[in-house]
A and B are shown apart, each in its own frame.
Chain A
Amino acid sequence: MGVPFVPTLGYAGSDVIKDREDFVLAPNPFNPEETVVVAKAINPDVALFHGTKGDLQGNVLVSRDGEALMIAQASRKVIVSVEEIVDKIPQDDTDGTFIPGIHVKAVVHAPYGAYPTACPPYYEMDDAQMKRYLEASSSDEAFSGYLREEVFEPGSHDGYLDKMGLRRGERIGEPVG
């Protein structure tokens, strides 16, 4: 990416962009009588996302159902956690979107790194845990309790997986279900 802004169709007249300094109405430079909505570029210093595979060159494979490649191309530092590390991901791997290692600063081997959300084909969403998260999100007090039990007390990602009874290594690499 690296462009200063992107023109878009729509949103004008709505409250969505009313108080937003990153959306402005501007003349279309190629047709000055026409007004378009222009969105300021987001150029993150750091981007974090989860993928399925990483390889020794830092290439990663992520779900095609998302905009991870665009995020990687827009950000200065990209850190990707993955379910498994392989020797080499082919550029034409059809299991996901290939992100070249040149965009990637670090690859982190983090099995169940998307849990309790899904990371197909490795695991599905854990509906019971998502329900617990949603219920905990209803108040500051409940959410503090959730963070204490699920994040701080386990102490680490490994500690959390132990608490959830998820065994690393055994199922990773084998599609579930």
Chain B
Amino acid sequence: MTQAPDCTFEEFMAVLLSREVRDFETSACGALSFIPAMALLLAEASHAPNGDFIILDSPAYNPFVGPKDFHYLAQRGQLDLFFISAIQIDRHADFNLHLIGDPDAPDVRMPGQYGTGLLYYAVPRIVLFRTRHDRRTFVAKVDFVSASASSPKGMARRNKEVVVITPMARMELSRELGLLELASVHPGYTLEQVQENTGFELVLSGKSEGEARVTPFVTEEELTVLRTVVKQRMIETDTYGDMARSKIRDP
């Protein structure tokens, strides 16, 4: 196959996110998370049938009464993977969900981070994602550090891996360097295009042997499962049902 099958933007992002989910783990997403919810259910219906899945906006996938129950589960180390989106992400994988501009006189104030400052420490694997890849999002230094990937000395931290997924590329945090490294470029984009749209110098992953890897194509199989089992499940369980109807195509 030389060309990716035709799909919606949401389908494309959900497939990439679902590949980060592992079998036998507990994976979760927060509120207002249509794309991660699709990704979790796609993983459940394909490569992670023994996983536990928590979708806070879904009555069928939210086992909790109040928000603290979810945070306690994460603090105990029982949540393996969590998806976080942010308005700014910097080269150190610090992210910003609070404001744009000068923190003392911001241009824009956002609703804030809810519990992600805790989850960034407590959850072993964090997937940061963004539905755009541009210099406004990928900045050298975030305007406000909502949560930092680096910890003060001696700090208890359970997080081990940070992955960033965008419409153009996949990045991984190198703990050794304290920097995001480019892991792969999605089909249809070049390394130069990714660099052009990133506000800091991209470092190639040590695994890439001097050349940027290409993200594996979205497959027909992934799209078929998404458009049949996952779409139906989302509608039946009232898990972003309306969005599933409009953003996931019919098989």
Contact = CB atoms under 8 A, between A and B. Distances in A.
Contact of B117 (A10, A65, A66, A67): A10
Interface string B121-134: 11000000000000
B118 A13 contact: no
Nearest to B112: A16
A140 interface: no
Given A65-B66, A67-B66, A14 B153 contact: no
Nearest to A36: B156
B121 A10 contact: yes
A33 B66 CA distance: 33
A64 B66 CA distance: 7
Nearest to A66: B66
B2 interface: no
Contacts of A91: none
B145 to A, nearest CB: 4
Contacts of A11: 117-118, 121, 147
Interface in A1-55: 8-16, 25, 27-28, 33-36
Nearest to B65: A64
User: Chain A CB within 10 Å — which of B121, B146, B158 has the most?
Assistant: B121
Given A64-B66, A65-B65, A13 B150 contact: yes
B148 A14 contact: yes
User: Chain A CB within 10 Å — which of B65, B103, B154 has the most?
Assistant: B154
A15 B146 contact: yes
Given A15-B103, A64-B66, A10 B154 contact: no
Given A9-B122, A10-B122, A13-B148, A34 B156 contact: yes
Given A33-B154, A35-B153, A67-B66, A16 B113 contact: yes
B156 A16 contact: no
Nearest to A27: B154
B119 interface: yes
Contacts of B152: 12-13, 25, 35
B246 interface: no
A28 B156 contact: yes
Nearest to A69: B66
Nearest to B66: A65
Contacts of A9: 75, 118, 121-122, 156, 158
User: Chain B CB within 10 Å — which of A8, A13, A25 has the most?
Assistant: A13
Given A12-B148, A13-B94, 14 more contacts: A8-B118, A13-B150, A13-B155, A14-B94, A15-B145, A16-B98, A16-B117, A33-B154, A34-B154, A35-B153, A35-B154, A35-B155, A65-B65, A67-B66
27 contacts: A9-B156, A9-B158, A10-B117, A10-B118, A10-B119, A10-B120, A10-B147, A11-B118, A11-B147, A12-B121, A12-B155, A13-B145, A13-B148, A14-B117, A14-B146, A15-B98, A15-B103, A15-B145, A16-B98, A16-B147, A25-B152, A28-B156, A34-B154, A35-B152, A35-B153, A36-B156, A64-B66
